[in-house]
Amino acid sequence: MNRQRALKLGVIGDPIAHSKSPAMHNAALRELGLEGEYAAIHVTPQRLGDMIRSVREDGYRGINVTIPHKENVMPYLDELGEDARRIGAVNTIVNENGRLIGRNTDGIGYVRSLKEEAAAELTGRRIVVIGAGGAARGIVHALAAEAPDRITLLNRTTQRAEELAREWSDLIDLVALPADRAAQALESADLVINTTSVGMHPHVDGLPLDPALLRGTEIVSDLIYNPLETRLLRLARERGCRTHGGLGMFVYQGAYALEYWTGVPAPVSAMRRAVLASMEI
């Protein structure tokens, strides 16, 4: 990386105005004493190809990619890291002198946060993952490296969960069940993870499962970070479960991306403070 040039960074999505990434990354650049700017860029699906051409030609060191582009951006890139290739989605692009490399930092960011904040040891855990979309893929891929006993996927569309279980049968013991069999899945689970958007602001009353089913569950985790405590987490806490929210995942996925772009350790504390300040906490 050319240290003499100001870093040109950003995040693309549709919509994107709500993103907390600019506040987080610009605070990180200031903390590190690096010249540059990280911007939120509204990119519709029709303009995705033009935007990636701009990343290649207009001096971007890298960008983050969010909904709805994480999968569709892949054909525009020159290379995929093993993480992005296996997950089937990209959330970070690194520009190496015009060669665009796609990475995925969501899963490793989540597991780092989970281990630091709620479950230091994941080996042998019986885990239930709610959802089977792109977020779930990143989480399951990273969890598989921690050697849990079993991961059960609960999803409204059973076929999608079954396809993921077959695809990754070489990684981990994966079981797919329809959402209406949640009671069966939760009987032996000690860690439950919501990877869906149910309960996210502004629809904060949503619940991805019936909290009454959490009787034997030790830890309940939710990828959502706005609100910081979802209704699911509040009700799980009231039932005696340890809870883990999505703020840490958001910070760490950004930290790993920043480290790809700069080659220096990310200032995680400053990044977390910036996100909280942007939420007026």
76 assigned ligand-binding residue = no
Instruction: Answer yes or no: is 10 a known binding residue.
Output: no
191: helix, coil or strand?
Answer: strand
Active site residue 8: no
Of 61, 69, 70, 125, which one is the catalytic site residue? Answer: 70
- Annotated ligand binding at 160? The verdict is yes
Q: Does the annotation list 113 as a binding residue?
A: no
Query: Is 46 within any annotated ligand binding site?
Result: no
4 is in an annotated binding site: no
As given in the structure block, the two tokens for residue 130 are 């709610």
Residue 40 marked as a ligand binder: no
Establish whether 106 is an annotated binding residue.
yes
| Nearest Cα residue to 161 out of 180, 146, 142, 148 | 180
Determine if residue 156 is labeled as part of a ligand binding site.
yes
**Structure token digits, residue 37:** 């700017």
Give the burial string for 189-225 (b: 16+ CB within 10 Å, else e): bbbbbbbbbbbbeeeeeeebbebebbeebbbbbbbbb
Confirm if 151 and 191 have CB atoms less than 8 A apart: no
Give 76's DSSP letter: G
Q: Which helix (H) or strand (E) holds 65?
A: strand 62-65
Summarize the annotated binding site for NADP(+) as residue ranges.
Answer: 82, 131-135, 155-160, 223, 246
Summarize the annotated binding site for shikimate as residue ranges.
Answer: 19-21, 66, 91, 106, 225, 253
Summarize the annotated binding site as residue ranges.
Answer: 19-21, 66, 82, 91, 106, 131-135, 155-160, 223, 225, 246, 253
- Which of the residues are catalytic? 70
